[in-house]
Chains A and B, each alone.
Chain A
Amino acid sequence: MRITESCSDLLSNPLGGNTAAYLLLIKYRRRYRSCLAVDEMGETSSVENEFDDWFIESLKIYNNIHEYQLEHPTRVIEWTSEKTICVAGYSSDKNEILELLLPLKLFTDDNQGLCAERDFKVVHGGFSDGSIHCLKHIPGTRCVVTNDGFNSNLQVWDLGGEDCDVIKRTGVLQLKSASSDKGVKIAPGLTGDPCVLHGSQISDIQLTELTSGKPLYSLGKDIPDLLSSLQFVSGSVFLACACNGDLYVGDTRNPSGLQNNPAGGREGVHWCMGVKTDLSSSDPSSCSVARLSSACQVVVSDLRDLRAPLFQAQLHVQRKTTSDDFMKVTWAPALDNCLAVSGFDGMVRIYDTASWRPELMEFQPLFIHRGHMMSDDQFDTSSAVVTTHVWHPSRPRTVLSAAVDGSVHVWDWVDKATASC
């Protein structure tokens, strides 16, 4: 049965026959590895071959790739400036928050060859007693806000300046009506004084001023659906996606107004959302919203009509994890119609939605980043699951991704279409 599955891979893989055949090989090698372990001669060479094959392939499919190994895995990667990101641990006890400076090589455009610097630098670090499930940077400040995934409190952190490398906790924000112990989702305010929108379910979404802790807005409606994603699309309009797939549009200037767009999703399916915002245009209606379900479906709609999908797709993914914790869908900020999906297994898939249609069909990815399954460390890489990914804000095909083994990859893939001509 597995073989037929692999054969369908072979036929439909957009990367071409070779890649798929290679995938098939990997599958077999993986299975063989346990048998080969008995035969000492073959064991090392088989595993090494597999890595070497990918290594050779990577020469062609990536312009650049960097692989880092954090001491503790992260499920957040957040940009804190053009050149720095924040990562943080999510283990049950003590964790670290790190602000990392991206290597110079990723920022020099001329004479990139003369720059040998390819390491991350830890510029700031701090300790958190709790797990970090959610971390957001507040634009225009040196603040990040975190949540541990178990209660509704938000921790506010000062990332520190030039003279000190310590990240310090400066305060705690509480939900006015804390109703859940499921943790909260956070969306930083985009304009005006530093503020943060947060909530654990639709009914307790509130906007809090960062410096005073004063609630500026809270929703007056009793909708106990759990929140899965939250994001501002303009200075005051925000989108909230419930775990059941329902989409809500709110406006912080109008506490009583909330527009509900039921998805009519299936029972027991978990949804999350990715929004493509164009902050340069004042009209938020051009926003594209992609919703990803735990059944590996993506539904794309825009703010003009959130009820009817513009187009949708069934993704071909074999889930390696039953948890919906790491599900993530994001739009490429500097590339048209592209979105990235991760959280089901050890891969990050890039899709071009240009060919998608209103009716549900299966589509193949434009590119697959398989690097997290190919780490040569002692981890059982076949069970690697990607925890999160983010796009580089300006480099069109550069993505940062992290996995449960603590690996963080920065990769810039080759666009087949432009490479061939």
Chain B
Amino acid sequence: MAREVRCKTVEEPSLVALAKTHAATPSFKNKTASGSHLSNVHLCISSSCFLSGAGQDVGRSCILVSIGGKNIMLDCGMHMGFNDDRRFPDFSYITQQGRLTEFLDCVIISHFHLDHCGALPYMSEMVGYDGPIYMTHPTKAICPILLEDFRKITVDKKGETNFFTSQMIKDCMKKVVPLNLHQTVQVDDELEIKAYYAGHVLGAAMVQIKVGSESVVYTGDYNMTPDRHLGAAWIDKCRPDILISESTYATTIRDSKRCRERDFLKKVHETVERGGKVLIPVFALGRAQELCILLETFWERMNMKAPIYFSTGLTEKANHYYKLFITWTNQKIRKTFVQRNMFEFKHIKAFDRSYADNPGPMVVFATPGMLHAGQSLQIFKKWAGNEKNMIIMPGYCVQGTIGHKILNGQKKLEMENRQTVIEIERCEPGCCHLSLEVKLQVEYMSFSAHADAKGIMQLIRMAEPRNMLLVHGEAKKMEFLKDKIEQEFTINCFMPANGETTTVITNPSVPVDISLNLLKREMALGGPLPDPKKPRTMHGTLIMKDNSLRLVSPEQALKELGLNEHQLRFTCRVQLQDPHSDPDTLSRIYTHLKSVLKGYTIQHLPDGTVMVESIVIKVSSSAEEPNTKVLLLSWSYQDEDLGSFLSTLLKKGLPSGLSSM
């Protein structure tokens, strides 16, 4: 009556039993083993986007990502709108005690703008971080120049303390490891990163971070439409678990580059036509080249004869950099570079200081871009008093600079009438001040290249992420964008507030190879052919070896692993009332099974057993109760189905009228 199941090992007991169990049941559908991992994306930005007086968005970027146990800092930006400690990210978010080096596996900088790299020397030298900092070659070359410029304005001019020094910038840059496009860099055994072209400024990159089968892509700032010197952002279908992107421009529809350029040309043209001089303060690299290409292209066609000058040394410097970084420019520049250097201009000549006093119209590109020192400031002072002249500011200016003041509409400036700013600060206050009236026309133009609402969708379409994370935005004002992304791509879209942590559960798919023999055997068993829409269970042995998973037949697994097969037998007792002798009962059983199980091999063996296939049946009884028979059934694991069936059948007893021959 009671069914007893007992394990019996036929050969030596060992681990082999493992090889016989079904470790996994992969299906044809998605060859996926269950199991989930956590990827945390922490954000440690403590303030939202800030709108400066000039109307340009200057939030700061600093994102902390935890993936597969690795902690990575993405960008280390400075907030351009604050003058106090709020300007740097609050690194105590990351670790209360202990150095950042112990917590962070690496730092990655997407491009050289200060709102993405401005806090780097502060973090590495003042807070303390000695691990690797990754950035592309152009970023590595340009970033320290910008940091030094900014340090000069802040410390030397405004006299602020508690700021990083020139030496700190140098020491910080020593920790930088350069990245090449599309080159996979192994940070350690498990963590790898890869840079993609972002097209925002020279050297701007998007990065893919990968640990095992999990990955995150951080876009930084990117641009989906090529311009005169840069190409469009590109990424392959890398299907990251999370795509992290800025939301600042995700709700804009950008005016075309062409119209921005048209506006620039129109302003230059108008001023030159009325005999005025145009000053364009620029940073040595990037926008300056773009605008030069533009003027060069149209100067003759616009019927212009006024000279265009580029400030001293700039051309050489720019050419030097662009030769080094030619792979980072757009296709057209790359193509023509061999025959003719795009930056050797026909109309644009080197500037000499004395030219500023020449009569008649002219256009001058001069550094620095924020009018805080140097040639651009000198020329500005000479030309500011004439309303026929014009100054075009093609980019953002830091607080405290002349550039920032005139962009805010200031018409009277207190000037120090000296060559360099540093000297002035050392003078007694008020000893050499000069008031300057700004009569010239001031034009502010933004040429910054950001992807807009359409661009962000294009990028998602390219990369096919499983989750989308938008940073730097006000969540309730981006409900529509979130809905749109979620509906169009059927993925989740997260918009964490600054300082908030988002956790995304990943569901990594684990590919398993199935041996051909096993598949053939499965096919031979019949049933429909594998259908990707219908998962199907199959049996086999999973071997996990050398980072690969294979499903093979048990025999093959034993052979490959050099193991002996263990046999697992079930034994079952069934009590039966049958008033016959033991041999007669066995005969009756034989007859009964013969009639019920047609098509099976059933043998009555001379040693007093009945065999149904491999199942052994014996009869015994005690002397006290000769009519109570105890049937012993024994079957191997492989015949479990038939064994169970037989035990159930015999429990019902034997029909009367069976012959006992």
Chain A residues proximal to chain B, CB less than 8 Å: 52, 55-56, 58-59, 64-71, 94, 96, 100, 103-104, 111, 113-127, 163-167, 376, 408
Contact = CB atoms under 8 A, between A and B. Distances in A.
Contacts of B258: 55, 67, 376
B452 A119 contact: yes
B255 interface: yes
A121 B252 contact: yes
Interface string B304-318: 000000000000000
B528 to A, nearest CB: 35
A125 B484 contact: yes
B260 interface: yes
A119 B254 contact: yes
Contact of A117 (B55, B267, B487): B55
Interface string B236-273: 00000000000000011111101110110111010000
A55 B262 contact: yes
Contacts of B267: 113
B255 A127 contact: no
Interface in B540-556: none
Contacts of B54: 114, 116
Interface stretch (B474-482, B591-599, B650-658): B474-482
Nearest to B260: A118
A66 B259 contact: yes
Given A113-B442, A114-B54, A119-B252, 19 more contacts: A56-B301, A67-B255, A68-B254, A68-B256, A69-B253, A70-B253, A71-B453, A71-B454, A111-B409, A113-B441, A115-B444, A119-B254, A121-B251, A122-B251, A125-B481, A126-B480, A127-B483, A127-B487, A165-B478
Nearest to B446: A116
A352 to B, nearest CB: 25
B523 interface: no
Q: List the 5 closest A-B pairs by CB distance, nearest first.
A: A125-B480, A120-B253, A116-B446, A67-B256, A113-B443
Contacts of B452: 119
A163 B443 contact: no
A116 B301 contact: no
Contacts of B479: 164-166
Given A58-B262, A59-B269, A71-B457, A118 B480 contact: no
Contacts of B453: 71, 122
A403 B442 CA distance: 35
Nearest to B390: A113
B407 interface: yes
Nearest to B478: A165
B480 A166 contact: yes
Contacts of B445: 116
A68 to B, nearest CB: 5
Contacts of A96: 484
A125 B267 CA distance: 35
A58 B251 CA distance: 28
B82 interface: no
Given A71-B454, A96-B484, A65 B253 contact: no
B387 to A, nearest CB: 13
A119 B476 contact: no
Interface string B285-305: 000000000000110011000
A118 B487 CA distance: 29
Contacts of A111: 409
A166 to B, nearest CB: 5
Interface in B454-511: 454, 457, 476-481, 483-484, 487
Nearest to B298: A56
10 contacts: A59-B266, A67-B259, A68-B255, A118-B255, A121-B253, A125-B481, A127-B484, A165-B251, A166-B479, A408-B253
B213 interface: no
A208 B93 CA distance: 58
A65 B261 CA distance: 11
Contacts of B298: 52, 55-56
B269 A116 contact: no
Contacts of A71: 453-454, 457
Contacts of B481: 122, 125, 165
A184 to B, nearest CB: 27
B46 to A, nearest CB: 24
Nearest to B55: A117
A100 B253 contact: yes
A165 B495 CA distance: 14
Contact of B480 (A66, A67, A124): A124
A376 B261 CA distance: 14
B247 to A, nearest CB: 12
B56 interface: yes
B259 A165 contact: no
B262 A59 contact: yes
Contacts of A58: 262
A107 B453 CA distance: 23
A56 B484 contact: no
A55 to B, nearest CB: 6
A118 B259 contact: yes
Given A58-B262, A115-B55, A163 B476 contact: yes
Given A66-B259, A166-B479, A56 B253 contact: no
A166 B252 contact: no
B259 A65 contact: yes
B56 A116 contact: yes
B483 A166 contact: yes
Nearest to B480: A125
Contact of A165 (B407, B446, B457, B476): B476
Nearest to B448: A116
Nearest to A408: B253
A71 B451 CA distance: 13
B259 A116 contact: no
Contacts of A166: 479-480, 483
Contacts of A165: 251, 476-481
Contacts of A104: 55
B495 to A, nearest CB: 12
A172 to B, nearest CB: 21
Most buried by A among B254, B256, B409, B480: B480
A115 B53 CA distance: 10
A249 B173 CA distance: 78
